[in-house]
Amino acid sequence: MYTYNMPLNKSWFILSNKVKKVSGFDDAHVRFAQALPEKFISAYTQRGDIVFDPFAGFGTTLFAAARLKRVGVGVEYDEKKFVYIKASLKPPHQIIHGSSLQLSLMKLPKIDLSFTSPPYMRYFDKQNPLSNYAKGGNYGNYLIGIDKIYSQMKKLVKKGGYVVIEIANTFDDDHPMTTLAWDVGKIVSKYFYLERDFIYCVKEGQLSSPAADDNHSYCLLFRNI
């Protein structure tokens, strides 16, 4: 029988999001502070567990895993970011250069926890973030890509393992809100049990995505049952 588990005892939390600029990346900012993945890694894994990020970015989740004595494994599409992470990440941690649309072709270990923030897209954007913004696309195709990624992850996450997605609904002054968090949550819940959501409130700074110029987002907690 399924047993409900909630190590975090509130449905919301507040953290500082003072993120650093990364040298050599033209004003690029880390997506979120290391304290965010650490909160979930500490609550839902044990030492030695595998923590996976399919959109590794600047490696924040992997570095958080390493600090907490877990094994961080990630995939990053952008070659420059991949090189940046690889230069600082030491074995047994692992970063793979490639697209998470092809997870099934990669030699990945079984995952205890996945923590990530996927690249955001608004319904009116014309470039597909899953191609590292190198190709045209639309919101519908973006959601199809998210579906493809998490359908593959279903086979990688251990039974009882967790998937956490940090994501926000997005808006622009000239357009209606894009219900990104709800749309992605609906897709991923096809493959994993949506256990609950947490509201992540930013004490200092803002969410650094230009598509989510706000001071809160959701952390959607799924479980592979």
Hey, CA dihedral for 175, 32, 53, 164, is it positive or negative? negative
> What CATH architecture does domain 29-161+183-203 belong to?
3-Layer(aba) Sandwich (3.40)
Whether the predicted pLDDT of 4 surpasses 90: no
Give the pLDDT confidence of 56-97 residue by residue, as tens digits: 999 999 999 999 999 999 999 999 999 999 999 999 999 999
Alpha carbons 167 and 9: distance in angstroms, whole number: 20
Residue 208 is given by DSSP the state -
Give the pLDDT confidence of 37-59 residue by residue, as tens digits: 999 999 999 999 999 999 999 99
